[in-house]
Amino acid sequence: MTICTCMVQEGQITPAQEAALRAETSAFAERHFGTLGEINWVTVPSGNGYTEGKLSTSVIVSVTADRSLAPSQRIPLLHELEEIWRTHANRTANEVVSVIRDPQ
């Protein structure tokens, strides 16, 4: 199973958006790493996340790859993952932090 950690600000994502993000992130993991993503959904309580000195509207999605990736492999995957989150979370590119980590 591929571990996917998703951090969002409280009240930022509707239940329908959350369902879509969970499904799309899990499908992304299966497409690229061969197993469905195990989603660890973390909701940051309102007022606990800041970006540039103001309340944050950012989301963070981190997926652990099943193998080490060269930059030429990782970068297109990061763009695809970011696009999923920009689309389904209705965020700008500056509000999505996408991470694909090598396995430990």
Q: How many domains does the chain have?
A: 1
Is the pTM higher than 0.75? The answer reads yes
pLDDT of residue 59: 96
Q: Give residue 60's domain range.
A: 2-101
What CATH number has the domain bearing residue 87? 3.30.429.10
Q: How far apart are CA 59 and CA 40, in angstroms?
A: 13
Structure tokens at 11: 């009240």
CA atoms within 13 A on the CB side of 55: 10
Q: Give every CB contact of residue 30 below 8 A, 6+ residues apart in sequence.
A: 2, 36, 37
Confidence of residue 25 (pLDDT cuts 50, 70, 90): very high
CA atoms within 13 A on the CB side of 8: 20
